[in-house]
Structure 1
Amino acid sequence: MLISVQALRALAAWMVVGVHFMQLFFDFEAHNALEYLLADKGGIGVDIFFVISGFVIFLATADKALTPWRFMLMRVARIVPAYWFYTLLMIVLVATVPSVFPQEHLEPSYVLMSLLFIAAPSEPGVEVYPLLGVGWTLNFEMLFYALFSVALLARESYRLWVAATLLFLVCYIGPALGLVSGFYSNDIVLEFLMGIMLGMLYRRGWCQARPWLPVLGIVVALTAIYHGADIPRALEWGVPSAIIVISCVALEPWFQGSRFLKLLGDCSYSVYLIHVPVLAVGYFVAQWMEVDPYAMLLVCIVVIAVGAYASYHWLEKSTYRGLKRLLGVEDRAIISRQKY
């Protein structure tokens, strides 16, 4: 894995932590510039994740003899165990301390849909969120994996177009015909395609440049993000995210050899999954004991960081290896030590 990409994954995960801190503790009401950036712009961490996902999946499958079935098995083995673990943790928390999660419910059909990455209303007529709230992004991720697995049947040079066609049919035509939930018509899905395009550029060696150019790209992207515009999310945040990703990839020589950044990237998925229950419990304790929100934030950051480290090493890695053996597949394309 490129260390620059690992660093971005970590940054994106912690940006989302900041967004949810502002949501839970301040209801998005910002009192200073940092709070404003977290509350109003921190959600771009998801967009960076999606661009990186398309980038990494394309590169990890290039020149590999992967069948759609084998690809999906490995993606399920990598994504599902940790997600299920933290969803089950949410079930336990909601059942034992419902006052901490007053808006959650444990109807069997809703829980099952949450576990199976099926978009379903958290309450009738309300937003589409699974029990573990951040799982809404994984609904998109799993859809992308499923569609990209079909694209693996095509030659590498055609996979972008196959994936784009399938995304258009499923995410735009499907909802219009009532065949697919309107949840998937979000233009954020286009960011996966941006990642694939970046992967194609990288494969062709077009991501090398003098340092000043990618640095300028990052400055331009951050400026565009800060000022914003009344345009679709894929343009407002997706394009700047793609520029940031490709710029950081071009700066890879400056990131190489950093074990710390690699570790942060390795733990980013667990950070993403674990932070919501930690912040929710932290908010409840802060209200109960009248603790300063920022003092509680420091406690939550420590708990999230330590918990994510343990989760990566003893939950993600162990279950991934165990499932590989159980499924009888050897994954040389999509592992934490992969080339790309």
Structure 2
Amino acid sequence: MLISVQALRALAAWTVVCHHFMQIFFDFKANGPIGQLFIDKGAVGVDIFFVISGLVIFLSTQDKSLPPTRFLLYRLSRIVPAYWLYTALMALVVVFARPVLPDQKVDWAHFLLSLLFIPSENPGGYGIYPTLNVGWTLNYEMLFYVLFAWALLFRVQARLMIVAALLFAVCQAWTGYGWISTFYRVDIVYEFLLGIAIGMAFRRGWIIPRLCLPLLGITGALWAIYHWAPQPRFLAWGLPSAVLVIACMSLERFFAGSRVFKVLGNSSYSVYLMHVLVLSAGGFVAQRYGINPYAMFGVCAAFIGLASWASYEFVEKSSYRWLKGLIDGESSNKALAVLSRQKY
């Protein structure tokens, strides 16, 4: 992945962290403009994630003859192990350390649905959220992966239109399952299409290295995010997020070779998954012992940074390599069996 995109992904993850810091420590009540900014606009990190996800999935498959089943297995191998780990940790904290997460409840049927990426009403009574609350975005990710897998059956140039048609069919036209349809009938899902479109433009050489124009684009995108209410979200936050991605890609030469940005980008998925657990524990300790919230946030941020790096290295990367080896080994064995039958 481009280092500039890694840097933007890390920034998006930490923007969400600051958003949830204001929720957990201050109940979304700010005393200053910076805190209010993260309350009102911090959730835009999710929109940036979705655009980047569409971009990465398109670019990582454009020159490969990848069967849909193997593509889905690869994505599950990348996403599931860390998600299941932190979902299990969330459930354990709720059951055995209830004061840390007093508003959360665990229902084991709901817990199972969460692991399977099936949207369902949270037993805490605050909406359609999985056990690990931030996992709601992964339900959209999984839908996108399934639909993109179908698009792999078509030529590269047609994949954007195929995914767009399938997204519209599932999220707008299909109404067979009531509340499930309600969950998916949101415009944020179309932000994946922006990422695919950016990938197609990049593939054709339309995103070229520049300086002034990308900086102007970043300024305009941030202005739009700051001044526009997030409704409709696709227009107010999705399009500016796409501009940020394009601008960063145009500035790639200023990021290339940076190990720091690469590490931060690699760790961003674990940052996203674990930060609510760490912030909740920090908020509990700060309230109990009268510790300054911002000092505690500094401790939490340092812990999240180090723990997310370890999580990427020893959970995400290790599990992905092992599972991918199993998948590739099984595929190779099947291919050898076919060749053997053809030979004899």
Amino acid at match of 2:68: P
Taking a change above 3 Å as real, the CA distance of residues 330 and 270 of structure 1, as seen in their structure-2 partners, is farther
User: Which residue is equivalent to 2:52?
Assistant: 52
Distance 1:157 1:266 in 2: 29
User: Which residue is equivalent to 2:313?
Assistant: 313
- 1:171-214 per-position Cα deviation (integer Å, ceiling 9, x unaligned): 11123774943101111001000100000100000001431001
User: Which residue is equivalent to 1:198?
Assistant: 198
Q: Is the 8 A contact 1:117 1:138 kept in 2?
A: yes
Which stretch of structure 1 is more off in the superposition, 1-10 or 170-179?
Answer: 170-179
After TM superposition, list the pairs within 5 Å mapping 1:99-138 onto structure 2: 99-123=99-123, 126-138=126-138
Taking a change above 3 Å as real, the CA distance of residues 45 and 230 of structure 1, as seen in their structure-2 partners, is closer
Distance 1:71 1:200 in 2: 19
Distance 2:329 2:216 in 1: 43
Question: For structure 1, which runs of at least 5 residues remain unmatched after alignment?
Answer: 332-340
User: CA offset at residue 264 of structure 1?
Assistant: 0.4
Distance 2:309 2:196 in 1: 29
Which stretch of structure 1 is more off in the superposition, 322-331 or 109-118?
Answer: 322-331
Distance 2:27 2:49 in 1: 24
Amino acid at match of 2:72: M
User: Which residue is equivalent to 1:181?
Assistant: 181
Aligned length: 331
After TM superposition, list the pairs within 5 Å mapping 1:153-232 onto structure 2: 153-175=153-175, 178=178, 180-229=180-229, 231-232=231-232
Residue 32 (structure 2) pairs with residue 32 (structure 1):
yes
User: Which residue is equivalent to 2:248?
Assistant: 248
Distance 1:285 1:179 in 2: 37
Partner SS state of residue 175, structure 2 = helix
User: Which residue is equivalent to 1:335?
Assistant: none
Distance 1:202 1:142 in 2: 24
Q: Is the 8 A contact 1:171 1:180 kept in 2?
A: no
Amino acid at match of 2:71: F
Taking a change above 3 Å as real, the CA distance of residues 267 and 240 of structure 1, as seen in their structure-2 partners, is same
Partner SS state of residue 123, structure 2 = coil
User: Which residue is equivalent to 2:7?
Assistant: 7
User: Which residue is equivalent to 2:94?
Assistant: 94
User: CA offset at residue 6 of structure 1?
Assistant: 0.3
Distance 1:209 1:82 in 2: 35
Distance 2:330 2:255 in 1: 29
User: CA offset at residue 8 of structure 1?
Assistant: 0.6
User: Which residue is equivalent to 2:280?
Assistant: 280
Q: Give the structure with higher Rg (CA).
A: 2
Q: Is the 8 A contact 1:16 1:272 kept in 2?
A: yes
Partner SS state of residue 28, structure 1 = coil
Distance 2:230 2:138 in 1: 26
Partner SS state of residue 207, structure 1 = coil
Query: RMSD in angstroms over aligned alpha carbons?
Result: 1.6
Distance 1:175 1:39 in 2: 33
Q: Is the 8 A contact 2:106 2:123 kept in 1?
A: no
Residue 75 (structure 2) pairs with residue 75 (structure 1):
yes
Which stretch of structure 1 is more off in the superposition, 99-108 or 146-155?
Answer: 99-108
Distance 1:245 1:317 in 2: 25
User: Which residue is equivalent to 1:265?
Assistant: 265
Distance 2:301 2:197 in 1: 35
User: Which residue is equivalent to 1:292?
Assistant: 292
Taking a change above 3 Å as real, the CA distance of residues 307 and 177 of structure 1, as seen in their structure-2 partners, is closer
Which stretch of structure 1 is more off in the superposition, 321-330 or 54-63?
Answer: 321-330
Residue 341 (structure 2) pairs with residue 325 (structure 1):
no
Q: Is the 8 A contact 2:119 2:180 kept in 1?
A: no
Distance 2:180 2:39 in 1: 31
Q: Is the 8 A contact 1:121 1:127 kept in 2?
A: yes
Taking a change above 3 Å as real, the CA distance of residues 110 and 177 of structure 1, as seen in their structure-2 partners, is closer
User: CA offset at residue 330 of structure 1?
Assistant: 9.6
Distance 1:209 1:17 in 2: 31
Distance 1:80 1:287 in 2: 33
Report % sequence identity. 56
Residue 65 (structure 2) pairs with residue 65 (structure 1):
yes
Partner SS state of residue 121, structure 2 = coil
Amino acid at match of 2:220: V
Amino acid at match of 1:173: A
User: Which residue is equivalent to 1:234?
Assistant: 234
